[in-house]
Amino acid sequence: MMVSLRGNRVIPVLALMALALLWSLDFVSVQPNRIAPGNGLGLLAAVGLPWALTLTAALLACALLALRPQQPAYWPILWLVSLLVLQLPLSLAWSIERHIGADMPYARVGIGAGYWSLLFLLGLLLIELQQRLRLARAWLLGSGIALALLLWWLAPQDWLEPLALLREYSSRRSQFAAALASHLGLVGGAVGLSLLLGGAIALLLQRYPGAQKGSIGLLSFIQTIPSLALFGLLIAPLSYLSAQFPWLQQLNIRGIGWAPALLALIAYSLLPIVRNTCVALAEVEAAVIESARGMGMSPTQVFLQVRLPLAMPLIIEGVRVTSIQAIGLTAVAALIGAGGFGTFIFQGLGQSAMDLIILGALPIIALALLADSLFSLLAERFYSGVGDDRAE
């Protein structure tokens, strides 16, 4: 009751924080070429007074509307935040128009810290509004997809061509496609194989509960090993095996490359899946299982039609954690020649090219958010399905 009288406090804090960072940090940077250092421009210098005042007024309006004592105006705030997100590409285009002339063919505009801070805080605002308005998680997923499609349509436009991030992408289109394929292949292979192996281990631990503590402890110990160290530990045995068995070389299984990366990712992925599966199966109420047996179901039918569906939401949660973890760890696997978006990150670090680093980091963030949304949505569907079955 106190919260409704005082309004929402989260939205004003996020909006004012975005406003402070927007005015205190560089909005864009202008470079005469790829090698020369950029000249940072604040919001006013980057987009001019009218545009800066518009952004400021919109953020202040979000803060004031959220502080309404009786009922915060969440729907108007949602529309304001959505418009702010959609105008971000247009503000970049306006910055390019103001600072890049026809006599500057090699000049480029980089995205500044103020711009990234605004984008991040607007994302937090959308999550807060989604929870306050009780919108389905599919709404957030759809909004993200719509924004991605808008950016994909805007990317080839000539007025965004001097954007440094797009220039890095344009010169590496084929490499980007190959990195996407290898990244998704490693993540999909690791998650799929760990789901099969982890599910089998969890079923064995249900049959032999005495081994559960030791098995979970061993998998937890693997999690404590730094990823790069585990990649390195796998190089020597795989190199030896490939030298002893030539058919392994024909499968491209060597000390470096996709093989050690896949094995390490599977090792890291087992703990969330095994632990969540064990807990999910153990938490199914004994009365429900007895009722199913009383209806004449066989043990296989009880497991497949009763126990597994009830445990599925928590199992999916383990797969969600595993997927997000694997997406991030695959970036490190680029150091041992496994490919993926980590290649761009480490190339950018070596060349001190921030836009190249961002070219590798942004798809990883997008894939992690997409995996989180998809598996969370799937878990919600199972929760609702289980609730409907229990109601019946």
Q: Above 90 in pLDDT, residue 86?
A: no
Residues with Cβ < 8 Å from 332, sequence gap 6 or more? 227, 228, 231, 342
State the pLDDT at residue 97.
84
Average pLDDT of the residues in 314-328: 93
Residue 30: in which H helix or E strand, if any?
strand 28-31
Q: What confidence score (pLDDT) does residue 2 get?
A: 38
The pLDDT value recorded for residue 140 is 73
Cα(58)–Cα(88) distance, rounded to whole angstroms? Answer: 13
Mean pLDDT of 211-231: 88
Q: Is residue 68 left, alpha or beta, with left meaning phi > 0 and alpha meaning psi from -120 to 50?
A: beta
CATH of 173-391, one of 1.10.3720.10, 2.40.100.10, 3.30.310.220, 1.10.10.10: 1.10.3720.10
Q: 294 pLDDT exceeds 90?
A: no
What is the CB-side half-sphere exposure of residue 68 using CA atoms within 13 A?
12
Rounded to whole angstroms, the Cα distance separating 331 from 342 reads 4
pLDDT score for 164? 87
Map residue 48 onto helix, strand or coil: coil
pLDDT recorded at residue 151: 73
Tell me what pLDDT residue 273 has: 93
Q: What's the average model confidence in pLDDT over 155-183? A: 86
Comparing 140-144, 281-285, 322-326, which segment has the lowest mean pLDDT?
A: 140-144
Taking residues 141-158, report their average pLDDT.
74
pLDDT at residue 267, as a whole number: 92
Q: Please tell me the predicted confidence (pLDDT) of residue 387.
A: 52
Q: Of 87-96, 194-203, 207-216, which has the strongest mean pLDDT?
A: 194-203
**Neighbouring C-alpha atoms within 13 Å toward the C-beta of 12:** 12
Q: What angle do CA 177, 182, 188 make, to 5 degrees?
A: 125
pLDDT tens string 195-207? 999 999 999 998 8
Q: Are 299 and 206 in contact (CB under 8 A)?
A: no
Q: Which two tokens stand for residue 81?
A: 């935040």
pLDDT band at residue 241 under the 50/70/90 scheme: confident
Q: Report the C-alpha gap between 387 and 392 in whole angstroms.
A: 9
End-to-end CA distance of the chain: 34
Tell me the C-alpha distance between 57 and 19, whole Å: 10
The arithmetic mean of pLDDT across residues 295-315, rounded, is: 85
Pick from 12-16, 203-207, 334-338 the range whose average pLDDT is largest.
Answer: 12-16
**Torsion from C-alpha of 10, 14, 19, 24, nearest 10 degrees:** 130
Domain boundaries, the chain: 2-164, 173-391
What is the DSSP track for 248-311?
A: HHHTT--SSSHHHHHHHHHHHHHHHHHHHHHHHHHTS-HHHHHHHHHTT--HHHHIIIIIHHHH
Tens digits of residue pLDDT in 16-28: 999 999 999 999 9
Mean pLDDT confidence for 304-313: 86
The H-or-E segment that residue 29 falls in is: strand 28-31
pLDDT of res. 69? 66
Least confident among 43-47, 239-243, 337-341, 365-369: 239-243
Tell me which of 215 and 296 has the higher pLDDT.
Answer: 215
Look at residue 40 and give its three-state secondary structure: strand
Please give the structure tokens belonging to residue 265. Answer: 């990712």
Mean pLDDT, residues 126-137:
84
H or E, element range at 41: strand 39-41
Q: How confident is the model at residue 5 (pLDDT cuts 50, 70, 90)?
A: very low
User: What is the model's pLDDT at position 1?
Assistant: 33
- Residue 3 above 50 pLDDT? no
**pLDDT average, residue stretch 96-112:** 84
Instruction: Categorize the per-residue pLDDT at 4 as very low, low, confident or very high, splitting at 50, 70 and 90.
Output: very low
pLDDT at residue 268, as a whole number: 92
Averaged pLDDT for residues 179-199: 94
Q: What percent of the chain has pLDDT over 70?
A: 94
Q: In 3D, which of 28, 113, 127 has the Cα closest to residue 78?
A: 127
pLDDT score of 385? 58
